[in-house]
Structure 1
C-alpha cells in the first residue's frame, strides 16, 4: 500500500530501485517528491537529480548516468518517466531501448544511486522479462485509486502531518463535498489546517463552512434537494451555478450521468452485487456508488425510467436549440419533483 511505503521512506528505509505505476497521478507525484526530499537537500538536487523521458531517450543513457558517481554528495536520484516497454502498449516514439542493459543494472544497482521508474499505466505486462526482474528486485508501489477506507486513512494522515486532528464526521463530509480527487482533497486540507491552527482540530462545521463544492457535488446536492421535495433549495443551487457561469448543457449532462448511475446501482444491488463489485462493473469509485445507493432507495424503477426519458428529451431540445437552455432545466427540475 502507498501509505505504508511512504512510512518506510520517511524512516529512511530507501530502496535502490523504485517502480511507481498506476493511474493515480497524485500518489505518483507525492512519492517522487517524498523520495527527493528524503534523499537530497536543495543544493544537491541541482547536481544529483536527473530526469529522463523514455519516450525520447534510450534507457541505457539513464543507466549510464545511474552508474556515474554523484557530484558534491553521497547519493543521486535518477527518475525515468514513461517506461512504455513495461506495458503491452507500443511507444509513439521510435526509441530503441537496450533493455538487457537495464536488466543487468536492476540485478546489481549502484549503491550510490536511487532509480525511480514512473509508469502512469493501469497495468504492467507481466510476461516481459524486464517486468519480472523489477518485480523481483525493485520496491513496487502501485498508485491505484484509493478505496473508501484508504481514502479516509489518507485524509487523517494528511491532517496529522500538519500536527492536527480531524473528526470522522468531518472526513466523511470532506469526501462528500470534494469527491475522491486527491489533488482537490489535499488543497482543501491545506486550507482547513490554516483555519484550524488555534484549536488544532477540524470538525464538520469547519468543513461545511470552508470547503468549496465541486460542480459534481452541487449536482448531487441539487438532486438530493429534489428527492426530499425541497424544490426552492434545488432551484437556488441551480441559479448559483448559472451565476458561476456554468453551462446549462454541462449541468444537464451531469444530471443525466447521476441518474444513470442511480439507476444502474439500484439494478445491480437488487441482483445481489455489493458496493465494491458494483464499483468494478461500472468503473467508478466505491464512494460514488455508496452515495448513489443512498439516493436510489428514494426512487422506484418507474420513476427513474421516467426521469431518464425526461433528461433525454431535454437534451434533444437543448441541442436542437428549440427551447431556452436555462428554462429547460428549470422545467426539468419541476418534473423531477413530481
Structure 2
C-alpha cells in the first residue's frame, strides 16, 4: 500500500487489525507506527493497553500472550513488535493468532529489512486481512523533494543551497535530516527562510568550508580554494570523516562520468538526481574530458584504499590534499 494512502486512512479512522511495515527506510516505518499508536490509543491509556516489544529482548511466546489480552480502558489492545527481523525464523508462530477474526487487538509489525519471504503463510495473512507497506530507500532526487516538502510541513521555507548542504552532509538518512530540521523550527518564525547562514548558525555546518563546497571547488578545478577548505576540514575531521568525504566526492564525479556517456538526454531521470542539482553537474562535466573523468574515479578509489591503511601511512589531511591536487591538475 502507498504511504500517503495509509496516512490518509489513519486520519480518517480507517484502521486495519494487522500491519506489516517492512523495508530499508526506517523513517516511514517509524512514522506510520507512531501515527497509528497515537490515533488508536489516548496518552492516558497507553500504560494499560499498549505493549511494545523489541525483537532482541522478546520471545514469540510473550508476544502471543500479549495479543490474547483484552483492552482494559481503550477500545483496542495495541501490540507493536519492533525489530521483527531479528525473530524472522520464529514469526510463523504468530500464524495461529493471525488466522483468527481479530476484533479487540491491533498488531503492528515493524520489520526493518528490505527482504521478506512473500511466499510464507505469515506474509499471506497480512496480504489477506491487513495492510502491508514496503518502505524503500529514496533516490537522491526524491530526497531533495522530501526535504523541501518536509520543511513546508514544518511551516518554513528553504533555499536551493541549503537543501544541497543538508543532503551533502546528512546523506540519505531521513531520520537524521528530520531531527536537524526540527532544531531549526525551535528558533524560527512561520514562513521564515532557511538559508546557508541559518544552517551554519543553528545546525553547525560551515557555509563556506564544508565538503559540499570542496566538491564544488574540485568540480571547478580550483586547487587554491580546495586546499583552503581542506585546511578547515582537517581540524574538524570528527565531524567530517574521510569515510564520508571520499564516497561523497566519488558519487559526484561518478555522475559527471555518467554525463559524458549519456549526453543531454533525460539526465535528471537517468542520474536519479533533482533538477535542482543538475546544472551543477553539467557545468562541472564541461571541465573534464572523458579520459580525465575516468582517471579521477581511479584517484578516488586509490584515496579510499589509503584511508583504509592499505599500502599507505598518509594522514587524512595529506590524502585529501593529494587527491585535490590530482583532480584539479588531471590531464
Same fold (TM > 0.5): yes
Structure 2 CA distance for partners of 1:2 and 1:212, relative to 1, 3 Å:
farther
Residue number among 245, 249, 258 corresponding to 2:251 in the alignment: 258
Unaligned 5+ residue runs, structure 1? 280-285
Root-mean-square deviation (CA), in Å? 3.9
**1:104 Cα deviation (Å)?**
1.0
* Equivalent residues in 2 for 1:89-168, closer than 5 Å: 91=89, 95=90, 97-105=92-100, 108-110=101-103, 112-147=104-139, 151=143, 154-162=146-154, 164-167=155-158
Unaligned 5+ residue runs, structure 2? none
Structure 1 distance, partners of 2:303, 2:113, is 38
**Which moved further from structure 2: 217-226 or 164-173?**
164-173
- 2:177 counterpart of 1:185: yes
Structure 2 distance, partners of 1:312, 1:156, is 33
2:290: which partner in 1?
301
Q: Secondary structure at the residue paired with 2:99? A: helix
**1:276 Cα deviation (Å)?**
5.0
Structure 2 distance, partners of 1:325, 1:153, is 34
Q: Secondary structure at the residue paired with 1:98? A: helix
Structure 1 distance, partners of 2:144, 2:248, is 27
Residue number among 314, 321, 326 corresponding to 1:335 in the alignment: 326
Structure 1 distance, partners of 2:24, 2:49, is 28
- 2:29 counterpart of 1:49: no
Structure 2 CA distance for partners of 1:183 and 1:325, relative to 1, 3 Å:
closer
**1:120 Cα deviation (Å)?**
0.8
Structure 2 CA distance for partners of 1:302 and 1:168, relative to 1, 3 Å:
same
Q: Secondary structure at the residue paired with 2:20? A: strand
**1:127 Cα deviation (Å)?**
1.6
Structure 2 CA distance for partners of 1:253 and 1:128, relative to 1, 3 Å:
same
**1:288 Cα deviation (Å)?**
11
Structure 2 CA distance for partners of 1:36 and 1:313, relative to 1, 3 Å:
closer
- 2:237 counterpart of 1:237: no
| Matched positions, count | 319
**1:43 Cα deviation (Å)?**
2.6
Asked if 2 retains the 8 angstrom alpha-carbon contact of 1:51 and 1:80, the reply is yes
CA displacement, residues 26-85 of structure 1 (integer Å, 9 cap, x when unaligned): 221222222222222233111111123456655464344223211233222101234449
1:223: which partner in 2?
215
Structure 2 distance, partners of 1:323, 1:157, is 43
Asked if 2 retains the 8 angstrom alpha-carbon contact of 1:192 and 1:206, the reply is no
Asked if 2 retains the 8 angstrom alpha-carbon contact of 1:265 and 1:296, the reply is no
TM-score, normalization by structure 1: 0.75
Structure 2 distance, partners of 1:149, 1:315, is 26
Structure 2 CA distance for partners of 1:122 and 1:301, relative to 1, 3 Å:
same
Structure 2 distance, partners of 1:229, 1:13, is 56
1:3: which partner in 2?
4
CA displacement, residues 214-259 of structure 1 (integer Å, 9 cap, x when unaligned): 9xx9334212112224333322221121111348754774366336
2:74: which partner in 1?
73
- 2:258 counterpart of 1:269: no
Structure 2 distance, partners of 1:147, 1:119, is 21
